[in-house]
Amino acid sequence: MNNEYLIEIDDIGRQYIVGNQEIDALKSVTLKIKKGEFVALMGPSGSGKSTLMNILGCLDTPTKGRYVLNGHDVSDMSENDLAAIRNKEIGFVFQTFNLLPKSTALENVALPLIYAGYSKKVREERAQRTLENVGLGNRVDHRPNELSGGQRQRVAVARALINEPSIILADEPTGNLDTKTSIEIMGLIEDIHAKGNTIILVTHEEDIAQHAHRIVRMRDGLIEDDYTNPSIKSVKPRLEALREKGSDFENL
């Protein structure tokens, strides 16, 4: 395997047994992603997109094939080893935010650092700084029910960034947001990519996928198409237009 690549999967398959039937959610997938790439993973329901996302995120293991993530062969790791790799290498952003409802923004963002063994002082300092970086320095003591949808998603993005992971894996990150807030969140994701982070964006929305530099389309458990996006759309012009109209992104 080549250390030029952050992700290398070779002939990955995932089979499930349902009753007495064998279902091939993934048949044979080979994919390489370099450090710093911005990749959109697309596909209709049943294409294998979600299964591949779970394997890329070390939430599931393949039935066959090999997966090397940042130099670690994670193909057949134990649950404990996979959990350690997830915490160190992958920052997750989910459509439903997945925030702890009784915890503050600061506590939600600091959570991965508890598992990584950092002191409370270090956790709080880093969480404060990361929230400031996503524009929520004045919302650290707010709980999720005191935040708008856009603010909750920014808390989730801050939590994904806190451990300085190798990959940000964003699963339909704008799926529960209105148009204006989606633009703001995509602007944040573009900024994160511009700082050198590797982004894998799972989406069924063509408009959202067009922000990625590379698009991987799946169908029937296989990669149907994998190409460099010839017409990358930056969200920045739309952000500027909204700001000129007076949109208050602090309240999104």
pLDDT exceeds 60 at position 252: no
Predicted pLDDT at 16:
92
Residue from 89, 94, 97 nearest 164 by CA: 89
Mean pLDDT throughout 21-45?
94
pLDDT tens for each residue of 89-115: 999 998 889 999 999 999 999 999 998
Query: For a pLDDT cut of 90, what percent of the chain falls above it?
Result: 69
Predicted pLDDT at 2:
57
Q: How confident is the model at residue 30 (pLDDT cuts 50, 70, 90)?
A: very high
- Burial group, residue 50, by CB count within 10 angstroms (0-12, 13-18, 19+): middle
Q: Picking from 44-53, 71-80, 193-202, 237-246, which range would have the lowest pLDDT averaged per residue?
A: 237-246
Predicted pLDDT at 246:
61
Is there a contact between 104 and 151 (Cβ–Cβ < 8 Å)? Answer: no
pLDDT exceeds 70 at position 28: yes
Q: Where are the domains of the chain?
A: 5-251
Predicted pLDDT at 241:
75
CB count within 10 Å of CB 249 equals 18
Fold of 5-251: Rossmann fold (3.40.50)
Predicted pLDDT at 231:
87
pLDDT tens for each residue of 145-197: 999 999 999 999 999 999 999 899 999 998 888 888 888 899 999 999 999 99
pLDDT exceeds 70 at position 59: yes
Instruction: Give 182's contacts (C-beta < 8 A, 6+ positions apart).
Output: 174, 208
Residue from 195, 244, 213 nearest 33 by CA: 213
Tally the residues of the chain. 252
Mean pLDDT throughout 21-40?
95
Give me the torsion for CA of 128, 171, 99, 91, rounded to 10°: -40
**Token pair 């149907």: residue:** 224
pLDDT exceeds 90 at position 236: no
